[in-house]
């Protein structure tokens, strides 16, 4: 029996986790998604930040095919070349020391929580267990990651959460100083908050965080799950801010579209985990690692970080010009090709209107239009998005 792909069938088959768009995707090519009926949509969210090279990049496809022909899975009981090569590359880029591979961003956060608490257990302070995040953040939906995600809508009905977790008001220096103590094991930071509406952390906040780290000896974890792999114009967003993290979490685009995440730790954490402390059946899958290697090579070969900077600045200028004509736009924030547009009404309205014009944008934080296009976006495609938004704002009453 072949299922009919429509909203009614989706409601019958699946738990109601997703508010899916009324589109049935058949294939992707370049920066476009093609539907079962043959219609074409410009994808300005790239699988929520996953498809950094768009769709069908030859190098990714060939890397996946080549590795799948050799070995799809052999478990982490064995040493596999793609893992070693990708770990070397990530250590070289970040200047950190050790790598753990998992499958998703939330798994990377869970591993980072465990690594932080295991490290703190050797401090001699049995109370040093507190793990803090920043308000308006998003770190994932598993229990530990959800406990750090300081948005009530993700937490309701799931009590009790992980003990000794809490949040610091974003960019609030006084709150930071009052919350961090000698009992703090780690502070998790998104230098650019994606789900939070594309907001950047202040240098004053990070300066105090560094000062408090010296005083209280805790770990700083950089969540680069959405902002990493070149999206902001540098390989990781923390590199714009002068932050020196103890742990970096990567995911989303890292596997070239396949499930892959990484936890990268500094030398002070080298010997914290022992065999059996943490693990994963599928993490570091050789096919995903091969795709990750191809992705990183493409980012550097095609100068995609520079391109993200240039395309992002072009989009920012054009959206600023829209804001000058359309009072519906309140604010525009841009870090490479990570763009948030604050509007005066529910942003879901603009998502629906853009779909009518064959452009896919995203709404986050209720009133923010979020753009996360592929890093190889062409300016004529960027212009298509601008024209679409201009038309919507012009017709709006």
Is 334 inside any structural domain? yes
User: CB neighbours of 239 closer than 8 A, spacing ≥ 6?
Assistant: none
Do 295 and 316 belong to one domain? no
Is 333 inside any structural domain? yes
Closest CA to 218 of 164, 172, 144: 164
What domain range includes position 195? 71-301
Q: The domain spanning residue 124 has which CATH number?
A: 3.40.640.10
Do 203 and 234 belong to one domain? yes
Is 64 inside any structural domain? no
Closest CA to 350 of 364, 369, 366, 337: 369
Do 328 and 372 belong to one domain? yes
Walk along the chain (397 residues) and give the pLDDT tens digit of each residue. 567 788 888 889 999 988 888 899 999 999 999 999 999 999 999 999 999 999 999 999 999 999 999 999 999 999 999 999 999 999 999 999 999 999 999 999 999 999 999 999 999 999 999 999 999 999 999 999 999 997 788 888 998 999 999 999 999 999 999 999 999 999 999 999 999 999 999 999 999 999 999 999 999 999 999 999 999 999 999 999 999 999 999 999 999 999 999 999 999 999 999 999 999 999 999 999 999 999 999 999 999 999 999 999 999 999 999 999 999 999 999 999 999 999 999 999 999 999 999 999 999 999 999 999 999 999 999 999 999 999 999 998 5
User: CB neighbours of 92 closer than 8 A, spacing ≥ 6?
Assistant: none
Kindly list the distances between the CA atom of residue 170 and the CA atoms of 135, 139, 181, 297, in Å, as whole numbers in the listed order: 5, 14, 17, 34
Structure tokens at 292: 């990750």
| DSSP state letters, 191-256 | SEETTTTSEEPPHHHHHHHHHHHHHH--EEEEE-TTTTTTTTSSSSGGGGTT---SEEEE-GGGGB
Boundary (domain end) residue, out of 301, 330, 353: 301
User: Could you tell me which residues are beta bridge partners of residue 146?
Assistant: none
Do 363 and 280 belong to one domain? no
Is 253 inside any structural domain? yes
Is 2 inside any structural domain? no
User: Hey, how many other C-beta atoms are within 10 angstroms of the C-beta on 17?
Assistant: 7
Structural domain count, the chain: 2
Structure tokens at 304: 């995609």
Closest CA to 283 of 78, 101, 62: 101
């Amino acid at each position: 029996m072949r299922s009919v792909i429509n909203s009614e069938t989706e409601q019958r088959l699946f738990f109601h986790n997703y508010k899916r768009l009324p589109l049935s995707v058949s294939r992707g090519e370049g920066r476009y998604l093609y539907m079962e009926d043959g219609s074409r949509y410009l994808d300005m969210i790239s699988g929520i930040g996953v498809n950094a090279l768009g769709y069908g990049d030859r190098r990714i496809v060939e890397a996946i095919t080549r590795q799948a022909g050799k070995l799809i899975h052999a478990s982490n009981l064995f040493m596999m070349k793609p893992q070693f090569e990708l770990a070397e590359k990530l250590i070289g880029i970040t200047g950190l020391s050790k790598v753990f591979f998992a499958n998703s961003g939330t798994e990377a956060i869970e591993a980072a929580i465990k690594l932080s608490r295991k490290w703190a257990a050797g401090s001699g302070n049995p109370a040093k267990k507190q793990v803090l995040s920043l308000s308006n953040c998003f770190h994932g939906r598993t229990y530990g990651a959800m406990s750090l995600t300081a948005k009530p809508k993700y937490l309701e009905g799931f009590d009790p959460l992980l003990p000794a977790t809490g949040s610091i008001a974003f960019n609030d220096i006084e709150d930071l100083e009052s919350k961090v103590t000698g009992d703090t094991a780690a502070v998790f930071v998104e230098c650019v908050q994606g789900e939070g509406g594309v907001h950047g952390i202040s240098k004053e906040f990070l300066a105090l965080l560094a000062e408090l780290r010296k005083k209280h000896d805790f770990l700083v974890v950089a969540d680069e799950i959405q902002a990493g792999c070149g999206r902001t114009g540098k390989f990781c967003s923390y590199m714009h801010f002068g932050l020196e993290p103890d742990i970096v979490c990567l995911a989303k685009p890292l596997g070239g579209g396949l499930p892959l995440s990484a936890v990268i730790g500094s030398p002070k954490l080298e010997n914290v985990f022992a065999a059996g402390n943490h693990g994963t059946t599928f993490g570091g899958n050789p096919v995903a690692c091969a795709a990750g290697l191809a992705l990183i090579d493409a980012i550097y070969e095609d100068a995609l970080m520079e391109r993200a900077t240039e395309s992002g600045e072009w989009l920012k200028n054009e959206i600023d010009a829209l804001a000058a004509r359309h009072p519906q736009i309140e604010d525009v924030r841009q870090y490479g090709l990570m763009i948030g547009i604050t509007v005066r009404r529910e942003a879901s309205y603009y998502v629906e209107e853009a779909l009518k014009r064959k452009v896919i944008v995203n709404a986050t934080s209720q009133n923010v239009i979020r753009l996360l296009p592929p890093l190889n976006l062409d300016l004529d495609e960027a212009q298509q998005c601008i024209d679409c938004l201009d038309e919507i704002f012009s017709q709006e009453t």
